[in-house]
Chain A
């Protein structure tokens, strides 16, 4: 069955197509070349004047796993004004900052997203993350396994086990937890907090293990490279939110010595200490460093004003931030000698100096980094803002006068301290297509997603070009998933289950011998039960696994 999308204006950066009229043909869930003239075209969509892009991909969004579920349970008030009724097609649920899985899946699709990646899957909690992702309909999903504060790894590093063994462990973890990459959060800091350390800078030592975040980052970055994992080490660095952490971030970039690394929600790691309030923007230095180091990619973690909830694996820094909880309740957890988490509700206020400057810093970073292939659009959902604010963020990036209007409403001192008003850059549709489709797919190694070439999976979003980009990106005209029309005029017309993307890097399985001993001696779950079988995703999760190749 052939479907033809005709007369549309195509933005497909992977093929260098920048707003050209092209016809797109879909057959059997994939984009294909123009069929022979005698092939029957079953359905034609006339998309005159409309914009066609690949389905959007969110590379960093907390959609599933223990900390998100704690946020849901803790904050009934978060959902109270955003209740979602069931329809003939869709289940009921609720938003807002910590939406139900069902509502999250529907809303992502209704915004033109076709894949979402959970960035902080604790290996000990991976089963739950997969359960929640299985109950997130419409979109494909995947997750990065969190390492770096788990005792098995720290014991290896402290006893100077060779890198090959560490890489085997990382490979084992990806397989055992059905992951798509490796994330490290406050390297060694979650463990240090359990020993009552309250901060850990790049070269400070975890007092029990005697290893530093630098050692951990280098070892894990190397393992990711050696295993051929497409997505670089996904790093939530040291000192999140601390004024002056700009220097830590710059030093972290130097620490990997040219190895590939992804710095996540970098906005939270780009703060200086200048000015009366000892809090200033480090965006220019950070952008300069990213521009100079092609091995580095980032996502911004833009904050937007309003109530949200911060949910993070970084128990150490979440504990430090709990004094600012709004409303005044918060959760910190130590988890299984594996990791931890912290959930702290927060309200970003536009009239507050720090919050307003955070907002400006995020935008400065977006606008000062030259290469959109290395910058991904995120709010670190829900930590900076809920993902539903992406269209608003896109407008801020694409519309200078709108941005300056907003700038004039924020805290005056923050606005004066920021260079944002002097930046003329406006993102083009082509650059938005890079940042939200082509680049995330490339970074994750999803070869047949994020573009519109022949052979690509037909995940396609069609928008009406509107001067108001927030309106444009809020409500696509059509969204196709695997070639099926699932959204029309911003509303779901068919419910589908996305697949789960995983990797199967090769590793030496003899690592299981020491793992078995470790589990038997210290853990309260057996090694066999720690691992997640395919059946748990396919049979119990009613899902499908797509194994992506390693490099």
Chain B
């Protein structure tokens, strides 16, 4: 009896496996220090899980199956039906693009073969940066540089709460390489409705907060830009912020050894946000004439930066691209998911989302194929539904971090009955 109990205990311990250095694919900063326990295919984060990671990794793998018009079918039949729709289509739209490097590579191949338009679910945010890059360029930095060098960090229009461990990973460090102490770091927020709690220094020092409406941040920054060049502004305040406050901030910026302006393109949800982002980039360039300053964009959820990069090296252009003419045709605005559906420039939709179960594809009046995580609750019945595996959980892969320089390997941490986006699309391409 005792022997049997010991034996059982051993079995249950043996069936639990622990994986270290796991990369979390559920937000753009790709923390890669998670420790995850797999016990009979149910996952538990033992170390370094934020609330996003916990809710994503620890959610139970939902049971779902491929469907045609809502009726369960074998995977192979669903793929055949997808092929039939795409073959009939003269101008497909492949959107969502929530996938890893391997998945995006296959998406690019399929788009080239079928003459499709491609766009990411966060395309609106992505192109806000692309337009700035293509107009005047920028000076930017990466997370490790911020972690070790940044003595002045300005959050413009974002509080980074969408990236729960950003402050822990990049700002409030136990150690930094160049003897920069936490108390020497200055945090400034500019914008409205920002949660500035994370910006409080571990020693209690509160961040400076300059409150203004999101669509006035650009004006605030360009006023700052004028002030740091030595111009005088004949007003008492800008966007409700006193000139004196701006002058003080300007002085700090000029005195900083390594300043950083952080924005999140998704949080700048205003018309022509690219102009505001360009204001950030231009003041950074000006300050770099005498000191070091850099920009940093926080985003890249759902593989957005991955899709943008793979698209750029395979097509020559960042998103959004249309392959309908047999070559890549780039137009960041025209080829948005919303626009091509509204203008009826496409006649089928393939939607891919392999990380995020909460996002719903647009309801389109064209034949629609949805490849999504098994627990996705759709608010309509697509022509074809295929549940897909999640990279970094159900299979290994690679993903790009928000800074668009660092990419990380994703590990498989559980067995899954679902197939990867890459494998499904590969089969589809072979059959077409």
Contact = CB atoms under 8 A, between A and B. Distances in A.
Given A76-B134, A79-B316, A85 B149 contact: no
B323 to A, nearest CB: 7
A329 to B, nearest CB: 4
A100, A331, A343, A524, most chain B CB atoms within 10 A:
A524
A77 B312 CA distance: 14
B137 A529 contact: no
A132 B105 CA distance: 11
A428 to B, nearest CB: 37
Nearest to B407: A127
A132 B398 CA distance: 13
A94 B316 contact: yes
B255 to A, nearest CB: 12
Interface residues of B, number: 68
A66 B137 contact: no
A533 interface: yes
Nearest to B34: A526
Interface in A336-390: 336-338, 343
A314 to B, nearest CB: 15
A79 B317 contact: yes
Contacts of B404: 66
A529 B312 CA distance: 24
Contact of B313 (A72, A125, A329): A72
B426 to A, nearest CB: 11
Interface stretch (B140-148, B223-231, B234-242): B140-148
Contact of B139 (A64, A86, A332): A332
Contacts of A73: 130, 133-134, 308, 312, 317-318
B148 A131 contact: no
B292 interface: yes
B407 to A, nearest CB: 5
Contacts of B175: 521-522
B101 A131 contact: yes
A525 B31 CA distance: 8
A319 B398 CA distance: 31
Contact of A334 (B33, B141, B316, B327): B141
Q: Which of B143, B310, B398, B405 has the most CB of A within 10 A?
A: B405
B316 A522 contact: no
Contacts of A46: none
A74 to B, nearest CB: 5
A87 to B, nearest CB: 9
A510 B404 CA distance: 32
B316 A72 contact: yes
A102 interface: yes
A513 interface: no
Given A135-B105, A208-B178, A335 B142 contact: yes
A328 B143 CA distance: 27
Contacts of A328: 136
A101 interface: yes
B408 interface: yes
A522 B148 contact: yes
A135 B139 contact: no
Interface in B160-184: 169-170, 174-178
A103 to B, nearest CB: 7
Interface centre among B169, B308, B312 (most CB of A within 10 A): B312
A155 B101 CA distance: 34
A94 B23 contact: no
Contact of B328 (A94, A332, A539): A94
A98 interface: yes
Contact of A92 (B326, B397, B398): B326
Contact of B327 (A64, A94, A539): A94
B292 A99 contact: no
A332 B285 CA distance: 10
B312 A124 contact: no
A528 B257 contact: no
A152 to B, nearest CB: 10
B216 interface: no
B325 to A, nearest CB: 8
A528 B316 CA distance: 31
Contacts, number: 197
Interface residues of A, number: 67
Contacts of A155: 177
Interface in A53-69: 64, 66, 68-69
Interface in A523-543: 523-526, 528-529, 533, 535-536, 539-540
B32 interface: yes
Interface string B1-41: 00000000000000000001101000000001100000000
Interface in B100-157: 101-102, 105, 109, 112-113, 130, 133-145, 147-149
A98 B316 contact: yes
B137 A329 contact: yes
B406 A131 contact: no
A540 B101 contact: yes
A329 B131 CA distance: 12
B385 interface: no
Given A196-B292, A331-B138, A524 B170 contact: yes
Contacts of B308: 73
Contact of B142 (A64, A86, A333, A529): A333
A100 B316 contact: yes
Interface in B249-264: 257-258
A163 to B, nearest CB: 23
B141 A333 contact: yes
A524 B133 contact: no
Interface string A302-342: 00000000000000000100000100111111111110000
B314 interface: yes
A434 to B, nearest CB: 33
Of B291, B317, B406, chain A has the most CB atoms within 10 Å of the CB of: B406
B409 A536 contact: yes
A522 B327 contact: no
B315 A523 contact: no
B294 interface: yes
Contacts of A21: none
B419 interface: no
B286 interface: no
Minimum-distance CB pairs A-B, first 3: A94-B316, A329-B137, A100-B316
11 contacts: A70-B133, A72-B312, A73-B133, A74-B134, A93-B314, A100-B316, A208-B178, A331-B138, A333-B141, A521-B175, A522-B147
Interface of B: 20-21, 23, 32-33, 101-102, 105, 109, 112-113, 130, 133-145, 147-149, 169-170, 174-178, 257-258, 288, 291-292, 294, 308-310, 312-318, 323, 325-330, 396-398, 400, 404-409
